[in-house]
Amino acid sequence: MNNNRFYDPKKAYKSSLNYTTCYTPINSGKIILSVVSFGLETLVQKIPEGDGMTFHSFDLAREFAFSKGYIVEDNSIEEIKKLNELKNKMNKTET
């Protein structure tokens, strides 16, 4: 799904709009990925691909989730800055 983008473990990620992800460590040191879809996605795909899969590391599980579009980059800070800049511009034009 994210053909042009690559997973970077140094970046922040969040669940995408119609998915929730959970990463559960197990005794062997591996990670189980849980994926739940909601909204319109449930009409297309009942059980998301990879739900219940075991990975050798947290980063591998997140990389898989990113490749499927279950998680996206979290640009909240940049988005808030842009909104504040827009708000400031709008306030300046009103006066």
- Half-sphere exposure of residue 46, counting CA atoms within 13 Å on the CB side? 0
**DSSP reduced 3-state for 77:** helix
Give the domain extent around 29.
Answer: 13-94
State the residue for tokens 């992800």. Answer: 21
Residue-level pLDDT at 76: 82
**DSSP reduced 3-state for 32:** strand
Whether 5 is in a domain gets the answer no
Average pLDDT, consecutive stretches of 10 residues, N- to C-terminus, the chain (95 residues): 73 90 94 90 80 96 95 85 83 69
Whether 65 is in a domain gets the answer yes
Q: CA-to-CA distance for 11 and 13, rounded, in angstroms?
A: 7
Q: CA-to-CA distance for 49 and 84, rounded, in angstroms?
A: 38
How many structural domains comprise the chain? 1
Q: CA-to-CA distance for 54 and 8, rounded, in angstroms?
A: 20
The verdict on pTM exceeding 0.85 is no
Residue-level pLDDT at 75: 82
Whether 1 is in a domain gets the answer no
Whether 62 is in a domain gets the answer yes
